[in-house]
Structure 1
Amino acid sequence: MNIASVTDSLEPSEQAIIPIAAFTASGDIEKLQVSLHEGLDAGLTINEIKAILVQMYAYAGFPRSLNGLSAFMSVVDDRKKTGMTDIVGSEPKPLPTDRTSLEFGTENQTKLIGAEVKGPLFEFSPEIDTYLKAHLFGDIFERDSLSWKQREIATIAALANLNGVNNQLSAHYTFSMNNHVSVSQLNEFIHIIEKYCGPQIAANALQVLNSVLDTQ
């Protein structure tokens, strides 16, 4: 693969998000369990990993998210039985009570993407626009268990390991760059995807990334 050299690396805990999100999205529980151990060892807290697994339902569906959470429960229990003490981490701050989820979700979406989101698809289906703004960018992205950078790393990892979602992967590469993920870190992301998910998945992810960078 023709990938630029990495000059500023993702933190080990950020790197560990990638296989967790990718294997949750694809439903590969055996590989996910290994990645969950690696994530805890890399410094992710229990609450951070739970937040990743919960977020995955927005991209891969409730069944994959629930299966991931179930696998994580087993991993945490097994580690406790062997005497390991993992950091639980802080609880997320309460959601705003002076505005609706739709109101602060719309604000979050605009900040995340860098512009107000409109288009014929959302005119065709106003419901999906409301759900995206109110729930994904409101109820989920407002929770500070993870930074927006961490959430975008998780999102592109999930989308890279799903078939038929290149348009969404392309969009979230751009969103990730709006949220402190550098180009060299995206190149590092491709290396990590190749390591865990194989050359075919990585080749597609790289092709999409190069198409995005060509328009910058």
Structure 2
Amino acid sequence: MKTDTIRNLTPKAKENFIAFLKTTELPAGYSDPEFMSNYINFAFDESLEKSGIDHKTAVLIIMTSLVACGGENEYEHMVNAALNLGVDKVSIKETLYHTTPYVGIGKTAQFIKITNEVFTKRGIDTRQKSEQTVSKDDRYEKGLQAQIDIFGERMRNYKDSYTPDTRHFADFLSANCFGDYYTRTGLDLKFRELLTFVILASLGGVESQLKAHITGNIRVGNDRAKLISVVTLLVPYIGYPRSLNALSAINETAPYKEK
């Protein structure tokens, strides 16, 4: 399909867009240059620059958000961008795997397919060594330890707060969400917890979980400034209502303090 050069880009938007996508041509399937110009100027100049987040980290955050939002077309572009920026395939795959317990396999499976298709087109082997560190015998214990590392000692007996008929959900969280995913290699615990914040902010409507993971992020070293920089980056991808809800959750959980 014929592409048109995207016009009226700011110098910084053009510079960053080329760094990510290696072109200033309209992606195939897009027929609105003005729409793309507005998007690129905001996302690749104002939002990206104000966030202060480096390109490699930014693209993984954006990819994670797009999975939560269901943005398949933009996700495909961002996988290519990640590879253009030199992000390794393990980080790309692990970022995607990490979304699974939060968005569900119904969403993640399609993005696995898209990722593998991009890898194949670019001559990258879709196979990789296992990043798993748990077995069926210790996934619960290691997952629970990850929860304790993030949220503190109060998590050691947290399942006692569940009623007897719902306690298996606490077991699922420890063994599956944290045991099967948080303990994987390829990404460290601090970055995985940041990605969880990204996912929850992008999903919207999950304020109680979002606030809990803001607390978790603060505990592992992702401070208020870091979380605000992430929301700043996400505005073009998740919109203002979800962005402002995330800011409200940050303000409630980690209030601004005068210096």
Of residues 37, 47, 52, the one that matches 2:90 is: 47
Q: TM-score, normalised by structure 1?
A: 0.83
1:107 matched to 2:107: no
What is the match of residue 194 of structure 2? 153
Is contact 1:19-1:193 (8 Å) kept?
yes
- C-alpha displacement at 1:7, in angstroms? 10
- C-alpha displacement at 1:96, in angstroms? 4.7
Of residues 63, 69, 72, the one that matches 2:112 is: 69
Do the aligned partners of residues 36 and 168 (structure 1) sit closer, same or farther apart at CA in structure 2, a change above 3 Å counting?
Answer: same
1:188 matched to 2:225: no
Between 1 and 2, higher relative CO (CA 8 Å, sep ≥ 6) is seen in 1
- C-alpha displacement at 1:95, in angstroms? 2.1
The 2-side partners of 1:42 and 1:153 are apart by 20
Unaligned runs of 5+ in 1: 1-5
1:131 matched to 2:172: yes
Unaligned runs of 5+ in 2: 1-48
Do the aligned partners of residues 163 and 198 (structure 1) sit closer, same or farther apart at CA in structure 2, a change above 3 Å counting?
Answer: closer
1:168 matched to 2:232: no
Is contact 2:51-2:233 (8 Å) kept?
no
Q: Out of 6-15 and 22-31, give the one that drifted further.
A: 6-15
What is the match of residue 19 of structure 1? 62
Q: TM-score, normalised by structure 2?
A: 0.70
The 2-side partners of 1:163 and 1:97 are apart by 33
- 1:104 counterpart letter in structure 2: K
Is contact 1:9-1:184 (8 Å) kept?
no
The 1-side partners of 2:96 and 2:131 are apart by 18
- C-alpha displacement at 1:129, in angstroms? 0.5
The share of aligned pairs that are identical, in percent, is 22
The structure having more radius of gyration, on CA atoms, is 2
* SS at structure 2 position matched to 1:161: helix
The 1-side partners of 2:68 and 2:189 are apart by 19
- C-alpha displacement at 1:74, in angstroms? 1.6
Do the aligned partners of residues 68 and 182 (structure 1) sit closer, same or farther apart at CA in structure 2, a change above 3 Å counting?
Answer: same
